[in-house]
Structure 1
Amino acid sequence: MRYSSTNGPIDLVGIGIGPANLSLAALLKRHPRVRARFFERRAEFQWHAGLMLPNASLQVPFLKDLVSLVDPTSELSFLQFLATHKRLLCFINANFPQVLRREFNQYYRWACEQLDTLDFGREVDAVELDGETLIVRGNGWSQPTRSVVLGTGLQAAVPDCAKPWLSTTLLHASQYLINNNPVEGKRVVVIGGGQTGAEVFHHLLSDSGAMPASVTWASRRWNFAPLDESSFTNELYTPGYSNYFYDLPETLRATLLAEQKLASDGVSSALLEAIYRRVYELRYVTGMSCNLQLRPARELIAVARRGDGWSITFRHLQRQTHETIHADIVVLCTGYAYGMPACLDAIADRIERSGDGYVVNPDYSVRWDGPKGCRIYVQNAAKHQRGIADPNLGLIPWRCAQIINSVAGCQLYDVDEAAPFVHWEAQPMAVQSGTPDLEMMS
């Protein structure tokens, strides 16, 4: 099947349909003058299917949906989804502290049904340059376009020592529910102290009728630390801070990302409390025999086969000693990393890189030596230039609005936000009458 039109290339092709490119498609629904199509290799929309645990919830407010940050009156908002399904009042009465991830996945799938620009089951094999036009190719089809938006998502990050051993019983967390290992009576090790590690650990303890023999939760972090969700920390998830961060020197940006880790990669306080209560219950109330161990400050350094199971070796980062644990199942909650998709191989050497990422312009297009009228935009791939909010759900609609304005060549969406409460920039003088005079000191 060939998508190319006799009227020439379309304006935009989105590669991958996750929350980011779905937001882009949703915001474009009101602006059909921007001709776009989105391609996804999977047969249907799925959002972290391997981690759709029963009680897993969002770590962002539900108003940070596909559209509301830049178009709160959109017919594709989460509130509209609730109203359409006659559950808005019950949702309000339920007073959820956070929306269940399963319900947000329902919302995403419902939004897909409202859009006619999405093509599932269409894998993109290559992006090539033909004169002044980009050609997106799949198996038996092609689509000329002026712009491409990469929404291929992040890839599972696996420690080097574990890569040769990946299997059904030593697996990345993204495969946790897909593999569906029976855990009753088994020795399970969970590696990684972020939200995913906490969710998997809690899930393993949830079914009193099918408890593992032991569960060990290990983390490189000094403790099982909470997500920093305070109001001023959430200023890091504003357009103002994203723009400020973009203009900082590269070395300073890297330092700040390390300092701000718990603003994006901690465990929700409610989940930590639920885990602590469950451990208390199992130890003191139910008398369950499951051996539970929480081991912070441990770094995974070696994996080896041991019979039908695994021998897992950690370095204690504070004592500088080694310890070995034997396990039947190992779940690697070791996060995700960005990798350039293989479909860009034909033009990869023309794209400017910075470390593991791209060099990204203010409009989220990457710098490359292609024709001026051909742009390649990226979703969730500019953390090193845009800060901790970039791979998070929080600013997706704002970023998509920036991309839409750039593709259209005019401001279809107002992306100017009120200044953050925190003055990130250095102030050369008093900013308004009645404020203290400020002097810049050399």
Structure 2
Amino acid sequence: MASESILDVIGVGIGPFNLGLAALLEKTDCSSLFFDKKTRFEWHPGMLLEGTTLQVPFLADAVTMVDPTSPYSFLNYLHEQKRLYRFYFFEKFQIPRKEYNHYCQWVAAQLPQLRFGTEVEKVEQEENGCYQVTVFSHDDQERRTYKSRHVVIGVGTKPYIPYPFQSMTGEQILHSSQYMDKRKRLLNGRSVTVIGSGQSAAEVFYDLLLKQPDYGYELSWFTRSKGFYPMEYSKLGLEHFSPDYTHYFYQLPSEKKKAVLSKQSLLYKGISFQTIGEIYDVLYERSVGQQTMNVRLQALTELVSIEEREGMYRLSLHQFEQDKTAEINSEAVILATGYHPYIPDCLNGIKDKLEWDANGQLVIEEDYKVKMHSEGNHHLFVQNGEIHTHGVGAPDLGLGAFRNAVIINQLAGKEVYRIDEKNVFQQFGL
């Protein structure tokens, strides 16, 4: 069934960024629809552990950084939930991850242009430049076609598992994004090994560490990083997650960008000071009286291979500095190996019209448009798929509203939201 009317924009995927786009579009006359195959908004459900928090302040909600008066702000959410005084006495900038997810669900429930349970199958471009978007509704098993002047891809990132282990994933070898789904089975096993160096690895390890006395499993944590290092969280360091740094980074040559990104991992891949402290405190208390702990932590150690043997897994590990290899047995392995951007299959129909760089990545302009071979008035925008062009701030929630403001001003053909040029104290270039 085809719709004759032409929308101003269609959003593919409903994560935090496209959710913010939909909310901020409410101040415009732009017509829009947003589609996601999930049945409801869920933000990393496999990592909604008790006691975990966002790593950014609550101001990094869907709208506040460009429109603090919006009815979709986190503070208004608290007001509607009758939680303002509780939050006032909570006295923390970083909110529980569980509450952030509930806040996003609250925003989503108020936006009628969101279509959950509906998968975008194809994005094609007509001769006049408009996009034809084919979607499949899982509710009524119907396929529909919509036309739009612009499309915004907001599918986010997907869990990354190193190639040698991709064929082995299942109940006992899993990505950390599945942790909560598999947790009960893991707790009842004999041994668990966590692989990775970031916040997800630390949170999974800490959760398993707290429950270890009740279940008695052997617990190990290996990372190929140089240590269990904290994330850079100084105030001037945080200014790298600003529109100013994004602009500076965008102007750098492509090869220079790759070199810079390779040295910035601790800006976004480290562990919070609090989590490291909590882990250490538990280890310290359990070691009173020279008690033996069935726990092992080791850095500078890479997981080389996994081999299944009689219901267990033999892990081959290589320690870089010693250049030594060892093997251990583990009943379960949790790969906290991060997330990678990806190009959704629905874009296959227009791949030849898009420009790609030498590394096979999309060429994305500073205003978040994908560069096309034939430029026109109908654009494809990308959310959180531009770290290679815009830098470390691409996946950061604190820059989501800014990016949406840049996109919306283009969709509306006027300045709907003010874009400030000087936001930080430091200067990034000469």
- TM-score, normalised relative to structure 1: 0.92
User: Contact 2:58/2:93 (CA < 8 Å) preserved in 1?
Assistant: no
Q: What does the per-residue CA deviation read over 1:1-33, in whole Å, with 9 as the maximum and x for residues that have no partner?
A: 64x2x4x311100000000100101111121x1
How far does residue 260 in structure 1 lie from its aligned partner after superposition? Answer: 1.6
Aligned-pair identity in percent equals 35
Tell me which residue corresponds to 2:429. 425
- Whether 2:420 is the aligned partner of 1:416: answer yes
Alignment partner, residue 190 of structure 1: 194
**Distance in 2 between the 1:113 and 1:200 partners?**
30
Residue matched to 2:367: 363
Compared with structure 1, are the counterparts of its residues 185 and 116 closer, same or farther at alpha carbon in structure 2 (3 Å cutoff)? closer
Given that 1:16 and 1:38 are in contact with CA atoms closer than 8 Å, whether structure 2 keeps it comes out as yes
Identify, as 1 or 2, the structure richer in helix.
Answer: 2
Q: Could you list the runs of 4 or more consecutive aligned residues of structure 1 that deviate by over 6 angstroms after TM superposition?
A: none
1:147 is matched with 150
CA contact 1:44–1:121 (8 Å) conserved in 2: yes
Who is 2:226 aligned against? 222
Could you say what secondary structure the match of 1:310 adopts? Answer: strand
Judged with a 3 Å threshold, the aligned counterparts in structure 2 of structure 1 residues 341 and 328 are, in CA distance, closer, same or farther, namely same
Name the SS for the 2:287 alignment partner: helix
Q: Give distance in 1, aligned partners of 2:7 and 2:210.
A: 50
Return the offset for 1:404.
0.6
Asked if 2 retains the 8 angstrom alpha-carbon contact of 1:60 and 1:98, the reply is yes
1:157 and 2:154 aligned: no
Post-superposition offset of 1:425: 2.1
Corresponding letter in the other structure for 1:23: G
Gap runs ≥5 in structure 1: 427-442
Are 2:82 and 1:82 aligned?
no
Contact 1:219–1:299 under 8 Å retained in 2? yes
Deviation at 1:283, TM superposition (A): 2.5
Residue aligned with 1:414, SS: coil
Deviation for aligned residue 1:207: 2.3
2:310 paired with 1:307: yes
- 1:210 maps to which residue? 214
Distance verdict in 2 for CA 1:286–1:53, change over 3 Å: farther
Q: Do the aligned partners of residues 351 and 285 (structure 1) sit closer, same or farther apart at CA in structure 2, a change above 3 Å counting?
A: farther
- Of 405-414 and 165-174, deviating more is 405-414
Question: Where do 1:349-360 residues align within 5 Å?
Answer: 349-354=352-357, 355-360=359-364
1:98–1:285: structure 2 CA closer, same or farther, 3 Å change rule? Answer: farther
Do the aligned residues in 2 keep the contact of 1:204 with 1:212 (CA within 8 Å)?
no
Distance 1:39 1:370, change over 3 A: farther
Q: How many Å separate the matches in 2 of 1:356 and 1:298?
A: 30
Tell me the distance in 1 between the aligned counterparts of 2:63 and 2:175: 31
**2:97 matched to which residue of 1?**
101
Q: Is 1:11 the counterpart of 2:8 in the alignment?
A: yes
Match of 1:201 among 185, 201, 205: 205
Does structure 1 conserve the Cα–Cα contact (< 8 Å) formed by 2:18 and 2:154? Answer: yes
Please give the root-mean-square deviation of Cα atoms over the aligned residues, in Å.
1.5
**Structure 2 residues without counterparts, runs of 5 or longer:** 137-142
Secondary structure at 1:141 match in 2? strand
Q: How does 1:4-403 map to 2 (within 5 A)?
A: 4=3, 6=4, 8-31=5-28, 33-96=29-92, 98-132=94-128, 133-139=130-136, 140-180=143-183, 181-184=185-188, 186-207=190-211, 210-284=214-288, 287=291, 290-354=293-357, 355-370=359-374, 372-403=376-407
User: Distance in 2 between the 1:76 and 1:264 partners?
Assistant: 27
Change in Cα spacing, 1:285 to 1:198, as seen in structure 2 (3 Å) is farther
Q: 1:62 & 1:79 partners in 2: Cα distance?
A: 9
Cα pair distance change 1:95/1:285, threshold 3 Å: farther
The count of corresponding residues between Structure 1 and Structure 2 is 421
- Native 8 Å contact 2:303 2:318 kept in 1: yes
Cα shift at 1:323: 1.4
- Inter-partner Cα distance in structure 2 for 1:104 and 1:326: 38
